[in-house]
């Protein structure tokens, strides 16, 4: 008896991560071999054509993740049993309808159901108060570590418990949950929409607007990084193992990705030097420790609250991603790749970042 294909819904197809993952699944994953019917969510009707133009076997659906009723209906009508949420939405209200609808699919069709939530390395970093003297291993006590935190940062405090909340709710509903937590992701996106990630772009914007970058923390701090190709390969590895019911889930289902750490100081200096070569940025060679005034100026450039500047562009994050490696994931790019490609990365960002189009070189 030929079995029904497994219906997978990927959200965030117009985003950096989701768009790149969609291309990867369509062209490198062999959906047919794995008996997968792929659906993807786009917000606007005109994006349907863009998805179809990618070629490959995908069914675009129109809807907004904020529209809970629509999300539930799409999942139930299409018998979706795996949802891959690629946007770090930071709202339980976005995850909840997916999990509830998956639970309905499970009851009606008697199949295992799965929810992949995308979080971020920030949720496991110094910004939420994770002890940085030891590495936090994703196959270790992550759930209890997060549950025991006393987060001081007023904004991060609101978000830190979200992953555990999702795990608990999914468990209660009989849904297997997986938390993917990308660190700083770099490299050109492959999707039809946004092709650039957040953090390096923010550094480039600040450097262009203020003519220099700063060391935001009192001492140098380090953060893990991931090339976009390796990050999407991680999702694909997890998905492949979910289809075989072999991927750890629930409280054991954390998937950190890292392949070494970069220093914010070294990266900032490299970006300033790249901008000096490329657009003649007139900057001192020194990287000064940011004063309160500098932090305020950075916040203005980034359009965020001053308290969010360190959260965006600094901090320590010592995590180890063992779970995906155990399932066969092997990242190809490390810190050496980023540091020897900063010029390309900066040139690429300046071309792709529309905020530069209207801003002449000052």
Ligand X SMILES: *[C@@H]1O[C@H](CO)[C@@H](O)[C@H](O)[C@H]1NC(C)=O
The first and second tokens of residue 123, run together, are: 């949720």
**Minimum distance from residue 324 beta carbon to ligand X (Å):** 12
Binding residue (CB under 6 A) for ligand X from 221, 257, 268, 323: 221
**Minimum distance from residue 126 beta carbon to ligand X (Å):** 4
Of 218 and 285, nearer to ligand X (C-beta) is 218
List the interface residues with ligand X, window 151-210 (CB under 6 A): none
Closest to 34 (Cα-Cα) out of 8, 61, 1, 60: 8
| Spatial separation of the C-alpha atoms in residues 331 and 353, rounded to whole Å | 27
The first and second tokens of residue 164, run together, are: 């555990």
| Spatial separation of the C-alpha atoms in residues 63 and 27, rounded to whole Å | 24
Per CB under 6 A, 335 contacts ligand X: yes
Binding residue (CB under 6 A) for ligand X from 3, 53, 219, 354: 219
**Minimum distance from residue 306 beta carbon to ligand X (Å):** 16
Of 101 and 335, nearer to ligand X (C-beta) is 335
| The one segment of 18-26, 48-56, 169-177, 217-225 that binds ligand X by CB under 6 A | 217-225
List the interface residues with ligand X, window 229-268 (CB under 6 A): 259-260
What are the strands of the beta sheet with 184-186, ordered from one edge? 184-186, 222-227, 261-263
CA distances 81 to 100, 172, 193, 233, 247, Å, are 12, 17, 26, 21, 15
H or E element in which residue 51 lies: helix 46-53
| Spatial separation of the C-alpha atoms in residues 191 and 10, rounded to whole Å | 13
| The one segment of 70-78, 178-186, 332-340, 352-360 that binds ligand X by CB under 6 A | 332-340
**Minimum distance from residue 335 beta carbon to ligand X (Å):** 5
Q: Cβ contacts of residue 88 below 8 Å, gap of 6+?
A: 118, 119, 120
Of 182 and 315, nearer to ligand X (C-beta) is 315
**Minimum distance from residue 316 beta carbon to ligand X (Å):** 4
Quick one: DSSP state of residue 231? H
Binding residue (CB under 6 A) for ligand X from 100, 139, 217, 252: 217
Per CB under 6 A, 334 contacts ligand X: yes
Per CB under 6 A, 331 contacts ligand X: yes
Pairing outcome for strands 222-227 and 184-186: parallel
CA–centroid distance for 275 within its chain: 26
List the interface residues with ligand X, window 271-330 (CB under 6 A): 315-316, 330
CA distances 184 to 50, 303, 350, 356, Å, are 27, 20, 18, 22
**3-state class of 315 per DSSP?**
coil
Binding residue (CB under 6 A) for ligand X from 145, 332, 340, 355: 332
Closest residue to ligand X in the complex (CB): 260
Mask for 118-137, x = binds ligand X (CB under 6 A): --------x-----x-----
Per CB under 6 A, 341 contacts ligand X: no
**Minimum distance from residue 325 beta carbon to ligand X (Å):** 9
Per CB under 6 A, 60 contacts ligand X: no
Q: Cβ contacts of residue 350 below 8 Å, gap of 6+?
A: 204, 278, 279, 356
Phi, psi of 168 (to 5 degrees): -65, -45
Chain positions contacting ligand X, by CB under 6 A: 126, 132, 217, 219, 221, 259-260, 315-316, 330-332, 334-335
């Amino acid at each position: 008896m030929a079995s029904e294909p497994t219906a997978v819904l990927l959200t965030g197809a117009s985003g950096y991560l989701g768009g790149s993952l969609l291309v990867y699944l369509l062209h490198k994953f062999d959906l047919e071999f794995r008996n997968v019917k792929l659906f993807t969510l786009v917000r606007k009707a005109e994006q349907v054509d863009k998805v179809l133009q990618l070629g490959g076997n995908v069914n675009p659906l129109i809807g907004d993740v904020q529209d809970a009723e629509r999300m539930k209906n799409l999942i139930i009508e299409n018998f979706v049993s795996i949802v891959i949420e690629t946007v770090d939405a930071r709202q339980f209200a976005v995850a909840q309808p997916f999990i509830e609808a998956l639970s309905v699919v499970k009851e009606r069709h008697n199949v295992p159901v799965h929810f992949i939530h995308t979080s971020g390395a920030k949720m496991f970093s110094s910004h939420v108060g994770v002890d940085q003297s030891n590495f936090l291993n994703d196959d270790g006590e992550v759930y209890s570590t997060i549950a025991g935190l006393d987060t001081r940062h007023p904004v991060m405090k609101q978000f830190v418990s979200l992953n555990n909340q999702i795990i608990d709710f999914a468990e209660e509903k009989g849904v297997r949950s997986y938390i993917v937590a990308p660190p700083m992701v770099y490299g050109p996106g492959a999707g039809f929409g946004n092709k650039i990630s957040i953090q390096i772009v923010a550094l480039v914007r600040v450097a262009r607007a203020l003519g220099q970058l700063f060391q935001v923390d009192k001492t140098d701090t380090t953060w893990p990084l991931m090339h976009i190709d390796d990050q999407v390969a991680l999702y694909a590895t997890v998905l492949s193992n979910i289809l075989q019911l072999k991927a750890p889930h629930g409280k054991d289902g954390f998937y950190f990705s890292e392949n070494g750490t970069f220093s914010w100081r070294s990266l900032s200096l490299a970006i300033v030097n790249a901008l000096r070569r490329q657009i003649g940025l007139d900057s001192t060679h020194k990287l000064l420790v940011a004063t309160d005034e500098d932090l305020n100026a950075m916040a203005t450039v980034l359009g965020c609250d001053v308290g969010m500047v360190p959260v965006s562009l600094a901090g320590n994050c010592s995590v180890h991603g063992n779970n995906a490696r155990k399932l066969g994931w092997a990242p190809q790019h490390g810190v050496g790749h980023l540091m020897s490609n900063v010029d390309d990365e900066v040139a690429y960002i300046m071309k792709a970042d529309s905020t530069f189009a209207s801003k002449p070189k000052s």
